[in-house]
Structure 1
Amino acid sequence: MDAFGDEEFAEVKYKTMNWWQCGILMVAETVSLGILSLPGAVAGIGMAPAVVILIGLGLMATYTGYVIGQFKWKYPQVCNMADAGEVMAGPIGREVLGVAQMLFLVFIMASHILTFSVALNTITEHGTCTIVFGVVGLVVSFICSLPRTLEKMSWLSLVCSAGPLLSKISYGIALPTVSSPAPYTTNSPASQLTAPQIVIAGVINGHVAFKLVYVRIFAGTDRMHKRDWVSVGSWIAIGLVLWIIAWIIAEAIPVFDNLLSLIVALFASWFTYGLSGIFWLYMNWGLYFSSWRKTVLMVLNVLIFGVGAALCGLGLYVSGKAIHDNTGSESFSCAA
């Protein structure tokens, strides 16, 4: 069942983007936080190992994305991870994966607020309290998230998605003294170039989070497509609450590397790798040994599930220890 229903005469139409507009949004979101942490990671492990890891994980992510697409084609009613959980495990699966996806998005929103604070600290040379910059990031992101569709955002994403990539040309990569988020270690054209993209990518994740809650509340009702005060007020209230929660997380874990590592360990490990393995195993239940090809794919997807589980377990340990051991930054502090 289509969560958005028939939109022929709707006031608010959600299904308005072309495939390439959706692709641009995905690129803008994907190349944001990850690419800002890349120089520091490469500097830490070395160029050669980093290239091998990037290629390996990239190929694996390409395959897992294909599997997720297969799952969507087989179960067209699936619009989010909560729906996928319901297909596989009923109401319990829906709630577990729904909560996990929501937390994932809110933590990403928090990372964008934190990165925005770091960027303004760098650009203004610590012009005011870091908490103030965080509040500014909250307000700007909240306002930009208010539209209920993403069609217009795709055009802005086209420009902004190039920011982090271009910044690497002027910033450099894999330097011994690199820290994250690059390029916000010095006030440079690179830092100014990528600042708008931080907001846009965060807004994309925020919009998806808003819509998950909004659809969950109003799916199947005429509120989905109306612009009355209940619909608009609910959308605004949902957005404000989620961005405030994200701001609290950003202030509670004010170190970019630590927060990003925690997000990857808790959520990205499963949404990128682990769950894809489960999807394949579910779709092919009872067919694992029907042919040599199925057997090979079964082994591959079990390994992918193992990779996701390992990234989660080891990542939680490392990020938790880093947060515990870090004494250089205090929660809810004006210090840069």
Structure 2
Amino acid sequence: MPPPKFGSTSTGRSDETTTGNPFVDVTSNKVPGEKRSMGSTDAVVERRETDKSDGAVQVTVADDPFGSEEGAQIHYKTMEWWHCGVLLIAENISLGVLALPQAVAWLGLVPGLLLIFVLGVLAGYTGFIIGQFKEAFPQVASFADCGELIAGRIGKEIMALCQVLLLVFIMSAHVLSFALAMNVMTDHRMCTVGFALIGMVVQFFLGLPRTLKGVSYLSIFSCFSVFVAVTIAMIAIAIIKPDMGNVSAVSPKMSVVTGLTPVMNIVLAYAGHVGFFGFCAELKNPRDFRKSLAFMQTIAVTFYMLISVIIYYYAGANVASPALGSAPTIIRKIAFGIALPTIIIAGVINGSVAAKYIYIRLWKGTNVIHQKSFKSNGSWVAICAILWFVSWVIAESIPNFNSLLALIGATFCSWFSYGIPGGLWLYMNKSCLFSSALKGALTILNCGIFLLGAAMCGLGLWNSGHELQRGAGGKPFSCENNWRPGGGGH
């Protein structure tokens, strides 16, 4: 079957009210029993309208990974918009913010803040595209499903591998950050490999709940901890003023090589997109994702810019990464202790999304995913254990905080946060790319976003390879302290 065409009433997407709306606002009116296409596989769709006053449309799709949950022991599609909102905040505002003040120091105040703002706005727009795509194609529950829809089995497998790798790499960054925090709080009383192992075990056990709604309650503590920890460190740094005013509008020593690492760290601060389809899939009403995204992105961009400029201004050019390290010793230990929930829980969220994809793919089409049987529980625990073990191995292979973040940002986040969503918009609108002046402008914008993702990936990988080649990644599986006062992950 050929790929579905924009605006068709018999394709694999919902009906749209598209006249005069270049953003493709989906308001479906499909009838029960309509055929839906995903790649080359037809599926029967059953729709039933619910409360039209809030735009809610309940959709049951034959190849929906969760299927019908009536009478099931485990229910997945249970989240309200605020559950999703706190999950988004916990997933996004964690490790990324801790590297931003140093990123601004390396780039200079003007380009640093400009990049945080522009990339944040673009990340919000590309997140909105993901929500649109989910509404247009309700059967899509992951980027792998997007790959199958657009490029068949090959596209599915490539996207599946990339999204799982990205999530595992992010998990490894949280394992590494746990070890770094413990080294700070205990003055390196234990081998770093051991601290990382403890972090892996803690996050593994906290990630055992199978639904994101269950994890969302943990996310409340994560949100609270990151805001309090960063605020305490910021106030302490402002009081002691370690190098106040030693700032540059534009870094005089910035080169292509030195500038790419901080840019990739900014990209990583907006790296939550890989989990967005999974969050949409567990919402009671997928259209609520727009509200959740706007809530998170507004807070993220504002918080990132505020924290970056204040800490950089008072800590100066030698601001540490993670930024909590620029605080006095006692405050630094307190701040890292308070930040532990966000370090742990943000890793748990990414681990849950990765495990959920593998778990659903393993048992799709069966009742196992909705059971509490030995088979269902045992397979879930095994998947989680394997993913967390692999993340620990990666964390110990690249034990430098900034180098690992830059590698993740270059390899995957540039695509999932920017390049791929731009491509999804072009796919949704392929039959009317230049049907109006505004549509043409959006087509050019999304082509630019796609090319931006490709450029960031290529340049970032080149820079990460250069840094790792000269030994910036640190010694693999070393007991050495991965925290260095004044330099953070350097």
Shorter-chain TM-score: which interval?
over 0.9
Counterpart CA distance in 1 for 2:364 and 2:203 is 25
- DSSP 3-state at the match of 1:183: helix
Residue aligning to 2:95: 33
User: Are residues 1:205 and 2:350 paired?
Assistant: yes
Matched-pair contact (CA < 8 Å) for 2:182–2:195: yes
**What's 1:66 paired with?**
128
Separation in 2, partners of 1:96, 1:184: 39
What per-residue deviation string (whole Å, max 9, x for no partner) do you get for residues 265-288 of structure 1? 111101110001111111111312
CA contact (8 A) 1:329 1:335 kept: no
Matched with 1:81 is: 143
- 2:123 touches 2:417 (CA, 8 Å); kept in 1? yes
TM-score calculated relative to the size of structure 2: 0.67
1:101 equivalent among 144, 163, 178: 163
1:12 aligns with 2:74: yes
The residue identity in structure 2 corresponding to 1:84 is: C
SS at match of 2:79: coil
Q: Deviations over 1:138-179 (max 9, x none)?
A: 110111111111223222211221322332323231122222
Q: How does 1:248-287 map to 2 (within 5 A)?
A: 248-287=393-432
Point out where structure 2 has 5 or more consecutive residues left out of the alignment. 1-60, 235-310, 482-490
Q: How far apart are 1:289 and its partner, in Å? A: 2.1
- In structure 2, the residue matched to 1:194 is 339
Give the C-alpha shift of residue 43 in structure 1. 1.8
Contact 1:24–1:154, Cα closer than 8 Å, also in 2: yes
1:11 aligned counterpart, secondary structure:
coil
Q: Which amino acid aligns with 1:241?
A: I
Is 1:180 the equivalent of 2:325? no
Answer whether contact 1:36 1:164 (CA < 8 A) is retained.
no
Tell me the CA shift for residue 30 of structure 1.
Answer: 0.3
Which residue in 1 is equivalent to 2:383?
Answer: 238
- Distance in 1 (CA, whole Å) between partners of 2:473 and 2:345 is 29
Instruction: Name which of structure 1's ranges 229-238 and 188-197 shifts more when overlaid on structure 2.
Output: 188-197
Deviation at 1:222, TM superposition (A): 1.1
Q: Tell me, yes or no, if the aligned pair for 1:129 and 1:335 is still in contact at 8 Å.
A: yes
Is 1:52 the counterpart of 2:197? The answer is no
Q: Is the 8 A contact 1:35 1:164 kept in 2?
A: no
Structure 1 residue ranges, 4+ long, deviating more than 4 angstroms after superposition:
none
Whose helix proportion is higher, 1 or 2? 1
3-state SS of 1:265 partner = helix
Partner of 2:224: 162
Name the stretch that deviates more: 177-186 or 249-258. 177-186
| 8 Å CA contact retained: 2:399, 2:473 | no
1:128 and 2:190 equivalent?
Answer: yes
| Equivalent AA in structure 2 for residue 22 of structure 1 | C
Structure 1 length normalisation: TM-score? 0.97
Taking only aligned residues, the RMSD between alpha carbons, in angstroms, comes to 1.4
Which residue number corresponds to residue 171 of structure 1? 233
Distance in 1, Cα, partners of 2:84 & 2:128 = 16
* Count of aligned pairs between the two proteins: 336
What secondary structure sits across from 1:188 in the alignment? Answer: helix
Distance in 1 between residues matched to 2:216 and 2:433, nearest whole Å:
41
What amino acid is the match of 2:153?
A: P
Counterpart of 2:292?
A: none
